[in-house]
Amino acid sequence: MECSAVDGRSDSKRSGEAMRPACRRSIARLTGLVGLVAAASLAWPAAARQASLGELVDPNALRVCADPNDLPFSNDKGEGFENEIAELISQRLGVPLRYTWHPNTMGFVRNTLRSYLCDVVMGVASANELLQNTNPYYRSTYVLAYRTADGEKFADLASPAMQQATIGVVAATPPADLLVERGLLDQARSYPLLVDTRYYHPGRDMIADLAAGEIDVALIWGPIAGYWASQQSEPITLVPLHSDRPGGRLDFRVSMGVRPAEPEWKRELNGLIRELQPEITAILERYHVPLLDERGELIAAHPSSGGASAAAVPEPDGYRTERYRAATPATLEGATVVDTAALRKLIESDRPILIDVMSKPTGPEGEAAWQPPPPKHLPGSVWLPNVGLGSLSPEFAAYFADNLEALTEGDAARPRVFYCDANCWFGYNAAKRAVRELGYSHVYWYPEGVEGWRTAGLELV
């Protein structure tokens, strides 16, 4: 969503390279994403649903504002993920789905939503001033994309190889600032931000150029990168981008947009988003959208080409000591690996000790007043932060050992389940340390963690 850039959208949501958060200068364009309109829940009587949609011009249909040629978001063949989400909502409402098509370029909101030709825009960056935002239904980030065959040569903007690399970037999007900060602007190949998506697809073209070797690196909105990378025969790896500059935001929450004077319609959509979130997330994952959790960490890696899955991760000889947020092994020697279904059975039968070992978040440097968001855990858990690091100080090693002994309460056979989040090595390290250094048996590791529990629709506290 790059202000109609990478994918012809706008900064607000295209921070998706368009409304995606991309276009800092054209906030107006941010709103141009595939829209979807929702009404009340099917559980309500038909008469009540009609009353709740009284703000809309036509309460008998889900009228969506959308771009007819803007994959992976939408097209007039219904092949985008926003098309699928719109269809999901219309089915739940029990009303037909109707589109107003318009290129996601300058004037998109004015000529569609604000002209009352439709009732919802799907996929706008939260806090968009041109319309009223619903609650977000996903959070994603700009990524650095490189050919997997290049190894980690181009996996970091700080790599010396970047001084000779050709780096694709959409003009006036947040990653362009990173190139300026790191003195890499001379390495950039610029792709246009404001385009008519009926004729141009900067995001698709950038990823195709990367696969063909015409550029070495692409800095691009994650949903665009994930989708088009999956269409290439050349495997491509995606790495979330981070900025060290205060205010240099590179990840964004994406919501739906409605007219400002329609609070009931907004509440109705918020209820549907909450109710349908597991199905919505599943759609996003099928389109290889890089999703972030509440901590701003990547939930799952989405490298790849042609839908190929990532290679299996081997168990290290020791502990993981860096890049803790990455794909994890499928096994853990000396411990039992459980998925969500197996953990629920274990909880019902054996009263396991649930131990969240996610490290404490730290705030931006120099911002003493910053308070981290309250962490969420599986019900009944004990939080032992920082004990999943690859190397522990003597004080933390003693803290870990003493707490495990106290939690066991003399019952050596009681299961101990370690977890943090999906694609998080802290849980692996802690479980391995309990087995290897402290001699515990009946040790379990739950690699799906907080995100896996949430995705299954289960309560977090």
Q: Please give the span between the terminal C-alpha atoms of the chain, in angstroms, as a whole number.
A: 34
pLDDT tens-digit readout, 234-254: 999 999 998 767 667 899 999
The reported pLDDT for the residue numbered 126 is 78
The reported pLDDT for the residue numbered 400 is 96
Q: Dig out the tokens for 100 from the structure.
A: 């107003």
Cβ(6)–Cβ(195) under 8 Å?
A: no
The reported pLDDT for the residue numbered 169 is 95
The reported pLDDT for the residue numbered 12 is 36
The reported pLDDT for the residue numbered 433 is 97
Residues with Cβ within 8 Å of 145's Cβ and at least 6 positions away in sequence, in order, are: 207, 210, 217, 218, 219, 220, 225, 229, 236, 237, 238, 239
DSSP letter (8 states) at residue 419: E
The reported pLDDT for the residue numbered 105 is 82
The reported pLDDT for the residue numbered 249 is 85
Question: Measured in whole angstroms, how far is the alpha carbon of residue 281 from the centre of its chain?
Answer: 9
The reported pLDDT for the residue numbered 361 is 64
Residue length of the chain: 461
pLDDT, averaged in runs of 10, over the chain (461 residues):
36 39 35 30 35 69 95 93 95 93 90 95 84 94 93 88 95 91 93 85 94 96 94 91 78 94 92 92 91 79 37 81 80 95 93 92 47 79 95 94 90 90 91 95 94 86 93
Using CA atoms, how far residue 303 sits from 16, 22, 231, 300, 312, in Å, is 18, 22, 12, 10, 13
DSSP letter (8 states) at residue 14: B
Burial class (CB in 10 A: 0-12, 13-18, 19+), 181: middle
CA 10 – CA 29 distance, rounded (Å): 4
The pairing of strands 120-125 and 74-75 is unpaired
The reported pLDDT for the residue numbered 264 is 92
Other C-beta atoms lying within 10 Å of the C-beta of residue 7: 37
Cβ(405)–Cβ(440) under 8 Å?
A: no
Nearest to 137 by CA among 255, 268, 288: 255
CA 65 – CA 372 distance, rounded (Å): 37
